[in-house]
Amino acid sequence: MTASPLTKPTALIFDMDGVLIDSEPLHRRAAEMTFGEIGIVLPEIVYEGHKGRPDAEIIPEVLSERGISADQISERLHRKHQIFEKMEHEMKAVDGAAEFVLWAKARYRIALATSATARNREAGLKLLGIGNPFETVVDGGRPHRPKPDPEVFQIAMRDLGVGPQDCWVIEDSMNGLRAAKAARCYAVTLTTTFDSGRLRTAGADLVVESFDQLKRLLETK
């Protein structure tokens, strides 16, 4: 059972990449460069399908299909992280994200549930400039099955001591949306990564263009 859109949530669970920080284009560039160095060029549809999934799952999957050895896969994974870290100074916060998180913290239980590594999660929160306001954080440093599996959100709910009917999950990617729905939460999606039509077709309970729009909606609850 999914939470009713008329129900005021008790908790908000945030994704990070594409929700709080505009990092998806940098991850894409870093992946293209990583694969390109060994002569692999992937079509757009492959990158679209992988949004919201961790490098530790995507890179081995892509390379093992091409007969790349385990040692080379490990080297490519490390190389992708190197390239991304050199680019991350270009990363920006999503408009209104920092302000919304602080507003939400005063009114709701809040958690962060991300596929990012612990190192990238720390860098992302530093970029926001608001410390770590979350009551609990689930990232790549805590073992969990990657999205679209719902486990990352289930762990966050368990940490908060709340159930799916209490939670709105804020996501941007198709895999994140599917994970939120599989966790039986009310799925809110921002149009930072996919357009509203695709998100609605994929089953989003609510699609918003900005955090200001989401704040206005929550203030009416």
CA distance readout (Å), 86 to 36, 91, 93, 134: 17, 11, 17, 27
3-state secondary structure 124-136: HHHHHCCCCCCCE
Q: Which is it for the CA torsion 131, 161, 211, 99, positive or negative?
A: negative
> Which strand ranges, in their side-by-side order, compose the sheet holding 109-113?
136-138, 109-113, 11-14, 167-171, 186-190, 206-208
Residues in the chain with pLDDT values less than 50: 1-4
3-state secondary structure of 185: coil
Q: Show me where the domains of the chain are located.
A: 11-22+92-219, 24-90
11-22+92-219 folds as Rossmann fold (3.40.50)
The residues facing 53 across adjacent strands are: none
pLDDT, one tens digit per residue, over 80-102 is: 999 999 999 899 999 999 999 99
**205, 188 Cβ separation under 8 angstroms:** yes
Kind of pairing, strands 92-93 and 21-22? antiparallel
Tell me what pLDDT residue 56 has.
86
**1, 184 Cβ separation under 8 angstroms:** yes
**Triad 32, 114, 112: Cα angle to 5°:** 150
Tell me what pLDDT residue 2 has.
44
**94, 119 Cβ separation under 8 angstroms:** no
CA dist., res. 144 & res. 18, Å (int): 20
